[in-house]
């Protein structure tokens, strides 16, 4: 990994980092609802995102990426528990 020098006018302790993701895809498995050891509700599922492109040979190609999603916010978990199923197309944002 290459490390870039930090300019002298930037205080690294004052800098803010952002880790945000936006995904739109299809639920790949039946969502798993459970409670953690602390008794908090959670739901997890896989999400497939894909893109298509036309190759130099004129043939269409498809690439699929799989993402593992875990949701811990109680109100969202309760809604998803009754609504979300395998094959659903969803849009999600998270950090």
pLDDT in tens, 27-56: 999 999 999 999 999 999 999 999 999 999
**Do 48 and 64 form a contact (C-beta atoms < 8 A)?**
yes
Would you place residue 14 in the very low, low, confident or very high pLDDT band (cuts 50, 70, 90)? low
pTM here? 0.74
Task: Count Cα atoms within 13 angstroms, Cβ side, for 20.
Answer: 5
Residues 6+ apart with CB under 8 A from 22: 91, 92, 93
Is the pLDDT at 4 greater than 80? The verdict is no
Is the pLDDT at 2 greater than 60? The verdict is no
C-alpha torsion sign, points 34, 36, 42, 43: negative
Tell me if residue 41 falls in helix, strand or coil: strand
Q: 49-77: per-residue pLDDT in tens?
A: 999 999 999 999 999 999 999 999 999 99
Strand partners of residue 77: none
Q: How far, in Å, CA of 69 to CA of 88, rounded?
A: 14
Strand partners of residue 70: 44
């Amino acid at each position: 990994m290459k490390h870039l020098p930090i300019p002298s006018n930037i205080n690294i302790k004052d800098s803010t980092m952002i880790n945000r993701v936006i995904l739109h895809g299809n639920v790949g498995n039946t969502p798993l609802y459970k409670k953690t050891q602390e008794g908090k509700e959670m739901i997890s599922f896989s999400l497939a995102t894909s893109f298509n492109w036309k190759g130099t040979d004129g043939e269409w190609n498809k690439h699929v990426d799989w993402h593992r999603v875990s949701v811990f916010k109680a109100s969202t978990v309760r809604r998803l528990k009754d609504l979300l199923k395998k094959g659903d197309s969803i849009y999600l944002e998270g950090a």
